[in-house]
Each structure stands twice: as structure tokens, then as C-alpha cells.
Amino acid sequence: MDGRMGGTSLIGSTRGGSFLGRSLLAGVFALSLASCGVTYKSPSVRNQADGQPVVVVSMSPQTVSVANASPYASQSLPSVFFSAAGTGAGRGVGALPETPYLPDESQQAMQYRPLPDVTPEPYRIGVGDQLLLATKSNASSVEQLTGLLAAENSRQGYSVRGDGTIAIPAIGPIQVAGLTQDVAENRLFNALVDAGIDPTFSLEISEFNSQRVAVGGAVKNSVIVPITPSDLTLGEALIAAGGFDVRDRQFASIRVYRDGTLYQIPLDTYVENPGLKDKILKAGDAVFVDTTYDLDRALAFYQAKIDVISLRTSTRISSMEILQAEVGLRRSALEEQRSNFERRRALGEETQEFVYLTGEVNDQSRFALPYGRRATLADVLYAEGGFDTTTGDPSQIYVLRAETTSKGEGITAYHLNAENAAKLVLATKFEMRPSDVIFVEEQPITKWNRTLQQFLPSVLSAARSAAAG
């Protein structure tokens, strides 16, 4: 329809034209209202809905508390979303084997096979060592270094894994096995700088587990003594075992198995020569205080101890590999189960709770209530874009909820008058329930404009037809 013909020309002729034109327009208007039934009907909240009473309750802090008190438990995600793929520590290797039984024998001439001197070397980090990263800065540095400093509080640190690395959050694995402490600090410093993390830290070895010496035989306690940066002497190793436990010193000897060679120090020689206590031991040495001259049996003991130490290392590596494979399989299974749940939910195969939005909202839609927590009226309304105040009436916002009361089934319409925008705070407190309907009514002017938009074309068309006839 041409605007000028339907607007300016017709109305102009009505104002300045004949009585017949005015009467004709009024008659057509009345006829359309009376006979055609062309009226604009907009939704609104009324006192009845299919015979059920509708009770309008004004939202206030008190009524919001009453509405929120209705029993409701939000849906929970499947347990698979709370499962972790990690497992416990690797398998242990059990206790060391028993010290072999060595029968007493008659005394023979005991040969002195001196233990070679060892040149002291800097301690090199190995598999099984525990490293502790500490900071010298304030609490903000703890946040910057994230997981790096958690070990300082728990005093556990980072364990050197079977592949010779330590795994640091936000950085990844760093190879440290075989390095001295200074070289390891430099490597860690460079890794922190490359990752953009404040490199203010100190590194220390809190537990020495990679280099050890076995001590057994006629001592108070058979032990495995760790080697530290301060070196381990023969005297210190024997003290760690509680000292000698022999009846006749002349029958006893200290035998040290090193790199396939057996060295022997008669106990009398050891006591009479204090310098022998300062002999430095190497990683893998086995010290056995013997009261027999059977070197073959002593050699079997040393070999058993060495085998146990090797078994511990190989078992740790094997356990780590098994653990990593197992974690990978579990992680894949968890991801598959979670993905299947997401697909079922997208296809509507999973039960889900919704809230519905209608009226003068920006998006006539439904809102899925979240898992594990409760959503408010503000969450639902503004997650979907809210409403346009040029068409929606902020004084007429309703939450329609089907409820059962002492009088039977009914509908409660919680009315939020947000003409004063401060009352929108109530929307952040009002909790939603499944199947709630949020309704925003039209502005009165919107209702009138829409009536005219739908009605006037019919009136003007009828007027043109009557004028033409």
C-alpha cells in the first residue's frame, strides 16, 4: 500500500472533504471492529488458567525466601566427570633377602686386600632422588611459580623419575639425572626463563636414593646407606649399621665388593689403623662384616645385594612405564564416556531440566538448568540476552510456577516490578525451579502500536473499496 494514498491523501480528504467521506471511514472502522473480529490479543497474567487459580505474589526479600525454600536438588553430572586417570604409586619390590647363613670355620691366615682410594667427585643426581625447589621471595612469587613451591610446604619435593626427569607444572619434564646440583640449577633456570616464569629459586636434594651402599653381616642392623654430596666413608657406613656385632675380633673381617672385585680388611687391622675409617665408598659397594673365611659365600652375599639394588631400579622404571600406560588407558576411557554423555545430551537422550522464556524477551527459548548448582532469575534472563525495554514492560516481569497447595493444584505468578532498576537485585536472589516460565509483558504503547499495525491496513483497504464502490 502506498503510504501517501493510505495516509496523507485519505486522511486529508477526511478532514477537508465531504460529510459522506467522514461517515464512510467511521462506518468501515466500526464495521471492522464489530463483524470481522480483527483484534490484537497479547498474552498477560490472569486470575485463571484452565480452571486453575493463578495467584500473583509480589517479589520481595520475604517472598523470595519463601519461594527458594521449596525443596529442590539440582542434577549432578555423571561420576565419570569427577574421576581422575591417576593411580597410586608403582609396585614395591619387597624387603631385601635374608643375609645368607655362614657357618663358623677354623681360623686361617687372613689376607689383607686393601680397598683402593676413591677420588672425591661432585654428587650427581640420579633416579629416585628427591629434589626440593624453594623460593627466597614473598607470597606473590609462590603464585607466579604455581606448583613449583608446593613441595616446600609439604617437604616432599619432586622425585627423579625412571627416565631421569622431573615433571614441573607449566614447564614439563626436565632432564636432571647425571647432572651435578649446579648444572641442574642452570638447566632449571633456563627452563623457567624460557617459560616466562620468575626464576628466583633454590634447588636442593632432600632425599638421596640413587646412590647407595649395602652393609650387612655381623653388624647390629643390616642397612642400605645413601651416598650424599659429603661422601660416605667406610667408618660412617659401619656406624649407620649400628657397629660391629662379633664375639672374637680375630675371626672377623670387613669385606667390600666393588666392581666385581672383593677387598678384605681384617677387623684387627681396621681397628689398629684409624685411617681405614676414612676410606671413601662408591655407589654400589657392598660391605659385609664376616666371621668366616669362606670367600665364595661372602661373594654370593654381595652379588645378592647388588641384584636387589639393580632390581629396585629396574622395577621402578618398569612400574613407571606400566603406570603411564595404565593412566593413558584410563584417561581415554574417561574421555570416551564423557564424550558419549555429551552426544546423548545433544540428542535429547539424557534427562535434563529446563526453564522457559516467553513474552518480550530477546530470545523465546528454553534455558537448561546447570548441573550441580542452582540458577537464578537473573542468570536465566540475561544469559539469553535479557529483554528490550522499548517493547518489554520492566514493571511486568513474572515467574510462573505450578505449585500444589492445601487448596489443590494452582499456579503462582511471582511478580517482579523492576520499574525501579534497584529491584533487579531480587532477580539475582530468586532461584529457578524446573519447568518455571519467565514471562515479560508488553509495554502499553507496544500493545497499541501492534494493534494499529495489524488493524489499520484492513481498515484502509476496506475504506478504499467502499470509496471505489
Predicted pLDDT at 101: 41
| CA–CA gap between residue 122 and residue 397 (Å, rounded) | 77
Q: Work out the pLDDT band at 139, boundaries 50, 70, 90.
A: very low
Q: Reply yes or no on whether the pLDDT at 409 is more than 50.
A: yes
148/142 Cα distance (integer angstroms): 8
- Bigger pLDDT: 151 vs 455: 455
Q: Is the pLDDT of residue 9 over 70?
A: no
In Å, how far are 3, 56, 206, 260, 294 from 110, measured between CA atoms? Answer: 127, 107, 41, 20, 11
What sign results for the dihedral spanned by CA atoms 324, 327, 333, 334? negative
**pLDDT confidence of residue 311:** 66
**Is a pLDDT exceeding 60 seen at residue 172?**
yes
> Domain coordinates of the chain in residue numbers?
48-75+352-447, 130-204, 212-311
Q: Is the pLDDT of residue 434 over 90?
A: yes
C-alpha cell at 184: 641442574
User: How large a percentage of the chain has pLDDT more than 70?
Assistant: 72
Q: Comparing 107-116, 135-144, 178-187, 451-460, which segment has the lowest mean pLDDT?
A: 135-144
Question: Does 104 score more than 50 pLDDT?
Answer: no
Q: Which range, of 139-153, 391-405, 429-443, averages the lowest pLDDT? A: 139-153
123 backbone dihedrals φ, ψ, rounded to 5°: -65, 135
For residue 252, give the nearest of 115, 110, 100 by alpha carbon.
110
**48-75+352-447: in CATH 3.30.70.580:** no
Domain at 212-311: CATH architecture = Roll (3.10)
Q: Tell me whether domains 48-75+352-447 and 130-204 share a fold.
A: no
The arithmetic mean of pLDDT across residues 385-409, rounded, is 84
Q: Among 327-331, 371-375, 431-435, which is the least confidently predicted range?
A: 327-331
At 83 the pLDDT is: 64
Q: Is pLDDT at 156 greater than 90 in this prediction?
A: no
pLDDT given at position 290: 84
The predicted pLDDT at position 316 comes to: 67
What is the rounded CA–CA span in Å between residue 439 and residue 357? 6
Name the pLDDT band for 6 (thresholds 50, 70, 90). very low
| Mean per-residue pLDDT, 254-272 | 90
pLDDT band at residue 312 under the 50/70/90 scheme? low
pLDDT band at 437 (very low <50, low <70, confident <90, very high): very high
Phi and psi at residue 337, to the nearest 5°: -65, -40
Average pLDDT, the chain: 77
Pick the CATH number of 130-204 from 3.40.30.10, 2.60.40.10, 3.30.1950.10, 3.40.50.1000: 3.30.1950.10
Neighbour count for residue 130 (Cβ, 10 Å): 19
Which has the higher per-residue pLDDT, 2 or 288? 288
Q: Which pLDDT band, with edges at 50, 70 and 90, does 200 fall under? A: confident
Output the pTM of the full model. 0.41
What pLDDT, on the 0 to 100 scale, is given for residue 293? 56
In this prediction, residue 309 has a pLDDT band, given cuts at 50, 70 and 90, of low
Q: What is the mean pLDDT of residues 120-145?
A: 70
Q: What is the mean pLDDT of the segment spanning 370-383?
A: 89
Predicted confidence (pLDDT) at residue 417 exceeds the cutoff of 70: yes
Residue of 71, 67, 72 whose CA lies nearest to 55: 67
Residue 262 near residue 255, CB atoms below 8 Å: yes
pLDDT (average), residues 313-336: 75
| More confident of the two residues 325 and 419 | 419
Looking at per-residue confidence, does 91 or 308 come out higher?
308
| Confidence band for 170, pLDDT divided at 50, 70 and 90 | confident
**pLDDT at 215 exceeding the cut of 90:** yes
pLDDT at 149: 45
